[in-house]
Amino acid sequence: MSTAPKSSLSPRLPRALLLLRAVLMGAALWLASAPLTSGEALAGPAPTKETLNTRPGGTNSTTGESKMPDFVYGGNALSFHGPMQFGLTRKGFYPRARLAFQYDRQLHRAHWAHVNVAALFDRGNWETFGMDSCGLTQAGTCEAGTVAGMDIAVGYTYKLFIEDKPWIVPTFRAGLAGGFWYYPRLGGTREQTRELTWTLGIQAAAGVRFFLLRELAIGLDIEFRPGLAVHRERQEAASDSDNLAGFVLPLQVLPLIVEYRF
């Protein structure tokens, strides 16, 4: 009875694995010691004789001649904005609770693009909404209820670089903004003739960020969003709705901002 010969590769497998592991470890050590070519490398200034000094806020300074980097660390920022806003005109109601997330992408140096998406909430009745009257006569209507909606803004942000205090970053923001919100419907019954409001306007804001770490900052913003509003109203027992034009001037007070750069 003959037996199959043992494979000549069997004794070589352990040696091959050891060799592969040695090669991988050597490559890892080489990469760790090699200069950065992306990410943090982009955070530094152009190669000069000065030494690189990474500072909070994703900006850098050098000894000798100072030069703002073309790109900060990562070139991305994600931030939370809250918590409130106010309508500055009597009939320009705007939901007062505002919880938003914003994504910023660096274009070049101090120039960034941003997208801001927010959830809007409030509670009130027709008087809160700046209406002349409730408009309904049914029993049990004209009560206070919850308002809910959302808005979105897209635009440009300028982030100022301060050489002496790079951990303080003033910001200036402008863009286009639009949104909508629904008015109270308790148990499926309207509480006022107004059902929905759409808005479209511009965004103008200023604020500041304080970087506690290179990637993490806290801050505050003040923002105006003047715009046109379209109110959809349906009279009692009417099958069709009417659209009424209006003007809104909300002021956003955002003392609770947390920003993370990556």
Domain-located, residue 49: no
Alpha carbon distance 13, 21 (integer Å): 12
pLDDT in tens, 215-262: 999 999 999 999 999 999 998 878 889 999 999 999 999 999 999 999
Tell me if 162 is assigned to some domain: yes
Predicted pLDDT of residue 55: 42
Residue 18 resides in a domain: yes
Integer Rg of the chain from CA: 29
User: How far apart, in whole angstroms, are the C-alpha atoms of residue 60 and residue 68?
Assistant: 7
**Count: domains in the chain:** 2
pLDDT of residue 223: 98
Cα(45)–Cα(27) distance, integer angstroms: 28
Are residue 130 and residue 254 in the same domain, yes or no? yes
In this structure, are 34 and 81 located in the same domain?
A: no
Give the pairing type, strands 97-108 and 76-87.
antiparallel
- Name the average pLDDT for the chain: 82
Quickly count helices (H) and strands (E) in the chain: 2, 14
In a domain, 1, yes or no: no
Same domain, 104 and 34: no
Per-residue pLDDT tens digits for 80-97: 999 999 999 888 999 999
Q: Residue 76: helix, strand or coil by DSSP?
A: strand
**172/229 same-domain check:** yes
Closest CA to 183 of 227, 131, 137: 131
Do 136 and 199 fall into the same domain? yes
The domain spanning residue 77 has which CATH number?
A: 2.40.160.20
Tell me, yes or no, whether 23 and 89 share the same domain.
Answer: no
Q: What's the pLDDT tens digit per position in 162-217? A: 989 999 999 999 999 999 999 999 777 889 999 999 999 999 999 999 999 989 99
Q: Are residues 34 and 76 in the same domain?
A: no
Any domain includes 7: no
- Give yes or no: residues 107 and 194 share one domain: yes
113 in the same domain as 21:
no
The reply to whether 147 and 227 lie within a common domain is yes
Residue 59's pLDDT band (cuts 50, 70, 90)? very low
pTM confidence score: 0.72
Domain coverage including residue 25: 12-38
Considering the domain architecture, whether residues 140 and 33 belong to the same structural domain is answered as: no
CA distances from 187 to 141, 145, 261 (A): 11, 11, 44
* Residue 83 covered by a domain: yes
Q: Is 216 within the bounds of a domain? A: yes
Q: How far is CA 209 from the centre of its chain?
A: 14
Q: Same domain for 194 and 103?
A: yes
Asked if residue 48 is part of any domain, the answer here is: no
